[in-house]
Amino acid sequence: MNSERASYNAGVAKGQTQEKASNMMDQASNAAQSAKESCQEVIKYILYFIRV
């Protein structure tokens, strides 16, 4: 019975860890996308002012 409980708890912990890791990856991906878009905007402004 104790080994079943330990196995269950290990499974729960693994699931929670995987979900947290997935959330962190999503946050990192969102941050990277935001940085990419910001850089693209800066490049647009730089190119605009170079042409003016």
What's the pLDDT band for 2 if we cut at 50, 70, 90?
confident
Count: domains in the chain:
1
Residue range of the domain that includes 31: 1-52
37: Cα separation from own chain's centroid: 16
Q: DSSP characters for 1-51?
A: -HHHHHHHHHHHHHHHHHHHHHHHHHHHHHHHHHHHHHHHHHHHHHHHHHH
What's the pLDDT band for 1 if we cut at 50, 70, 90?
confident
C-alpha 4/C-alpha 7 separation (Å) is: 5
pLDDT at 30: 98
Summarised one tens digit per residue, pLDDT across range 13-48 is 999 999 999 999 999 999 999 999 999 999 999 999
pLDDT at 24: 98
